Every structure is written in C-alpha cells, then in structure tokens.
Structure 1
Amino acid sequence: MQQTTNTIVMIRPVNFRMNEQTAVNNYYQKVLDGLLPETVNAKAQQEFDAYVDKLRAVGITVVVIEDTNEHDTPDSIFPNNWISFHENGNVGLYPMYAENRRLERREDVLFKLEEEGFQINQIVDYTSAEEEGVFLEGTGSLLLDRENRKAYCALSPRADEDLFIEFCEDFEYTPVIFTANQTVDGKRKAIYHTNVMMCLAETFAVICLDTIDDKKERKHVVENLKQDGKEVITISEAQVNNFAGNMLQVRGKDDKRYLIMSQAAYDSLRPAQIELIEKHCDILSSSLDTIEACGGGSARCMMAEVFLPKA
C-alpha cells in the first residue's frame, strides 16, 4: 500500500462562488464584497489553471475535468468530498451535507478515469445516508493512513461516527476518532472537515493539536501517529485559519515527494516549521486566495487522489 499517488483528479469550476448552503458550518468562508459572481469565477479559474500548471511542471499527473452548467454547483472545485479512489479498484461515494453539493457527483468522472486506463472494480455507495440526515464527506472527513491502515476522523455535522465506523469496516481501516474545534465568536465549534486541521504524509503529520480540546483524545491521536513512526509537526489555530492544515503529499517525476499547499498556508508557516517539513520533502505552493475566501477550502480539498490499479 502506498500513502502517496502521482495521479489526481481536479474539477475546473464554471460557477464558483461562495456557497450559502455550506457557510452555515464552514466558518472559513468569507463574503468578498463588491465582486461580481463572474469576476469571482474568473479569478478562481485563473488560480485553478496556475495551480494545475505548477503541479504538472513537477511531473504530477492531473486529470482535469471541466464542470458543467447543468446544475448550480458552486463547490465543484472540491471533488475530494464526494469521491475516493482505492488501490483495490474500489471507489467510495459519500453523503454530502449541503444539498447543492450532492449535484457534484458525476458518473462521467469514472468514465474519464477508465479512458485513462484505470480499473474500477466496485462502487461502495454511502449516499443513501443523506435521506437520514447522516453525512461523511470523503477525504475531507476521513484522513487515510493507507500504509498503516488507520483512518483519522474529527466528528462534526459532516462526519458521522457510525458511518465512519462502517466505512472503516468496509475498507479495512482502524478508526481513530476525536473532536476538533475552532473558536467562532468566542464559542468552541466543530471544525467542519478533518483535513483542515491535519495532514498525513508518509513520514510525518502536520496537525493543530490545540483544536483537540479533550486531552485524552489529543494523546490518543499523537500516540497513533508516533506508533507509526510519523514525525508530528504542530501548527497553531491561527495557521489553520490560513489553511496550513489543508495540505497533501503527492509524488512527482521520478517518485519525488512534494507537500502541496496554498501560498497563504506557506506564508503562515514559521521558518522552523518549513525546515521540519523540508527534511521530509519539497514544498510546492500556489496562490488560492479567491478559492480559499469564497470556498472555505484550499489546496488539499481541490485534489482527489487516484490510487486505482491500471487496467
């Protein structure tokens, strides 16, 4: 089992804007006053295209799929929430909290990967849980340590404990469950996705331990990471607000490892933290200011990793 892949799927937006349906519990979204929707979308497309160019320049295979105007899908740029691809040829489909995000699920994404020579054996579909108001938003909610078969999940309105355990049974992962909070108007509220406060790489993890208020849970998470030989690199809640937790390790040309993050995330890191990361791999950053502000997601959310076998 490999923790990193060379191939990712990215969806190029056509109607990107702030999604009012997700803003109810994604406290990272902001309203950009005075910008027309088409301006916001054009800026997002520019950031998207520059990001894809940077990834391809280091030899990362990016399968770009254009979004369509068929539905109103302002968050389609974040495909990792509705789909995941696994080494055994299985594909996970996930129940989404916001109704307009459910429209992002598209069969043609699978056809495109099959055209690219990937093999799909089985689709494990959890989407019927939406009818019960139960959600688990893909690798936003689930952080997979594929090598050590552990799945980390911060419970939230978008990450249901029972469904998470069901996923772990189906895909043969050991669950590591905790709660992660952020301060909103003086109150501690659940962080909407695990991958905002934590990133799992092959030999290290970047994590904001300050978000895990329960000391026992915090200790449990750290013990699991250390048990698997990962160096724990801590970040602050202020850095999480700059998306320094929303990173992904990917393989480029000649199997070289890169930690992918936004420019805002990189700029928020202290020199000592950068040094710790660069002991393990190179850093690749790209400006995603508009996408982060309106979408409340960053570099990691935009990449759906492909681990499917080649046919």
Structure 2
Amino acid sequence: MKDNQQLTDTLLMIRPVKFGYNVETAINNHYQRELGDVLPEEIQHRALAEFNQFVDVLRQQGVNVITVDDTAEKETPDSIFPNNWISFHQDGTVVTYPMWAPNRRKERRDDILSTLIKEHRYAIRRKIDYSYFEAEEKFLEGTGSMVLDRQNRIAYACVSPRTHLHLLSEFCQEFGYRPIVFIASQMINEGFAEIYHTNVMMSIGEDFAIFCADALKNTWEQKDIVKIIRDTGKEVIFISEEQCNHFAGNMLQVKNQQNEQLLVMSSQAYRSLTKNQLNQLEQYTDIVHSPLSTIEACGGGSARCMMAEIFLPKN
C-alpha cells in the first residue's frame, strides 16, 4: 500500500532537554536568531513550556500526540524538530534521512521505533536508511526538504544545501512520487540566500496549498508551480515573504480522532495572516495555534517542524 492519505491524527513530538541556538545550522538557516541576553537554562525553560503548552493544545483538540523525551547525553539542540530525520508511511515503512549539520545526526534514535512498536502497537515492516549518504555530502532532511502531496504523489522541493536532487529522486522512485523542484530564496543583508527548507514557505493540505510564490524569483517557475498545484484540485492560498518570516508557511494540516480537519500553526504565524487569508483557510479547516516564540527564534523552525506525522498501520 502506497501513501495516499494526506492527513494523520497521530504525531510524534520530542520533548526538549537542552534546546538552544544551534551554531552549526545557523550557517544556512537564516530564520534563526541568537537571544544573547537570555541564559541557556532560561531558553530551555521557555522552550519546554512552549512545547508542553503546544502538546496540550493539540490533545485538547483530539489529536493523538506521542511524546518522547530527548536524551541529555548528546548535544542535540534541535531535537525538537524530528520531522527532518524520520518519516512514517502507510505501508509500514520508516525512513531515516541524512542531515546536513553533524550535531543533528545525533538525533536519530532506534529506541523511538522500539517504543512505537512495543508501547503503541505500530507495525514497522521495513526501514530505509539514507543516512549513509552523509559520507558523500548528500543530504535530504525529510519533510523539511520535501513537502509531500500524498494524495497526488507529488514531492515539492526547493533546492538548498540540505536537499540533494539525487537523493530526492531516489526517495521519489522508491515511493512513487513525482519530484517538483524549484529555486526559492529570501532577502538577507541586501542579497538573496536559498531558503533552507521547503516547509517554511509551503504547506499542502487536503483541499488547499499555502505557498509563498514571491520566494520564486523566476516568474515562469512561479506560474508552473501554481498550475501544478491547481491541477491537483487544490486552492492556492498565497502568503508573502514577510509572512514567511513569521513562519506562516510552516503549518501542517492534521485531523483529530473525530476526523475533523485542523490546520496547526504558531500564534506568530496566525497573527501574520490577513482576514482574507483566514477566511480562505476557514472554508476548508479549523485553525489551531499556540505560542512558540522562543523555539522559532533560536531554532529557526516552527509548528510544522515539531511534528513528525505517523501514518504507520497498527499491529
């Protein structure tokens, strides 16, 4: 069975133990900011409070959230973002991915798979591990690098040091996806830099897509991507580059255990949306948001990055 279900009602989230500013990832994640006047212990304290509140909000909405604590032994300041190193698929496949920053490679943990099997009765039928590509300096950071339209078998990806086209092609061949590749950039210090992850400027829901077309400087490429999305029957809801800077692209649509659809985002992202955009979205889905300001500032990622979708079958 191939992926065809766009939304899950179950998420894996990693509770931070030593969250903080990651100097390794900051080289090409231009959304990160150092909080120089805040002690590391206070940053962890704030991030943990934001994480716990976010989990509570999701559970109150009827979403099944499986939380696993990070380990204190390793220096893993970005462990709160598991969607980059692992993905779970409907046919029982688990994929682990090669990570650009060396300290993020320490986040991969087989004990999490044991927990899913033993405590939550999930069936893991095979594991595909692409991490050996790190030795070749080839990277593909999961559903950060790829935004998946599971219904229509399309993997959208913007070119970056963290998204190698050979690996993207390998994933797409394995899972029967069509790769759609484009160049997206953001203004940094009066120049342009590649956007490090596709999921900060694009999100695919069941009936809509959130897309920052302005990040594509080639207007023909913009039109091509918009046409591809519309040809799948989804409405395109456009966001601006400024809204991307407030993490309005870093959203994930899920469903709850009553099969109600929910679009999950941070409170900063929610506040950045216009009334018209909210009206467009609310035609299709309820909206859920929670404050994540410390995690967003230090980590350069937001709500979507914190949620690894579980599509695995049950035993």
TM-score bracket for this pair, using the shorter chain length: over 0.9
**Secondary structure of 1:11's match?**
strand
Aligned residue number for residue 81 of structure 1: 84
Structure 2 equivalent of residue 91 of structure 1: 94
- Separation in structure 2 between the aligned mates of residue 175 and residue 238 of structure 1, nearest angstrom: 27
Quick check: 1:276 aligned with 2:299?
A: no
What do you get for the CA RMSD once the two structures are aligned? 0.7
State the match for 2:159 in structure 1.
Answer: 155
Q: How far does residue 118 in structure 1 lie from its aligned partner after superposition?
A: 0.9
Deviations 1:129-174 (A, max 9, x none): 1011111100000111111111100110000111101110011101
Aligned partner letter, 1:184 = I
Deviation track 1:247-301 (CA, whole Å, cap 9, x = no partner) reads 0001113100000000000000000000100000000000000000000000000
Number of residue pairs aligned between Structure 1 and Structure 2: 311
TM-score, normalised by the number of residues in structure 1: 0.99
Q: Could you tell me which of 171, 187, 193 is aligned with 1:189?
A: 193
Write out aligned runs for 1:1-311 (5 A). Answer: 1-115=4-118, 116-311=120-315
Deviation at 1:216, TM superposition (A): 2.5
**Residues 4-28 of structure 1, C-alpha deviations (whole Å, 9 max, x = no match):** 0000000000000000000000000
Structure 2, unaligned runs of 5 or more: none
Distance 2:198 2:18 in 1: 26
Counterpart residue type for residue 263 of structure 1: S
User: Which letter does structure 2 place at the counterpart of 1:113?
Assistant: L
Matches of 2:114 and 2:77 in 1, distance apart? 23
Amino acid corresponding to residue 197 of structure 2 in structure 1:
H
Quote the Cα distance in structure 2 between the aligned partners of 1:166 and 1:187: 32
> Which residue identity is paired with 2:114?
F
Q: Output the amino acid matched with 2:311.
A: F
Q: Unaligned regions of 5+ residues in structure 1, if any?
A: none
AA aligned to 2:60 is A
User: Partner of 2:157: helix, strand, or coil?
Assistant: strand
Q: Secondary structure at the match of 2:13?
A: strand
SS at match of 1:134: coil
Specify the code of the residue in structure 2 equivalent to 1:240: C
Taking structure 2 as the reference length, the TM-score comes to: 0.98
User: Distance in 2 between the 1:140 and 1:90 partners?
Assistant: 18
- 3-state SS of 2:27 partner: coil
Judge conservation of contact 2:200–2:249 (CA < 8 Å) in 1.
yes
Deviations 1:213-251 (A, max 9, x none): 122321221111111100000000000000000000011
The structure 1 segments of at least 4 consecutive aligned residues displaced by more than 4 Å after TM superposition are none
Q: Residue 64 of structure 2 contacts residue 257 of structure 2 at CA under 8 Å; is this kept in 1?
A: no
* Seq. identity, %: 52
- Mapped to 2, the partners of 1:168 and 1:223 lie a distance apart of 21
Q: What is the alpha-carbon distance in structure 2 between the residues aligned to residue 180 and residue 125 of structure 1?
A: 27
Amino acid at match of 1:257: Q
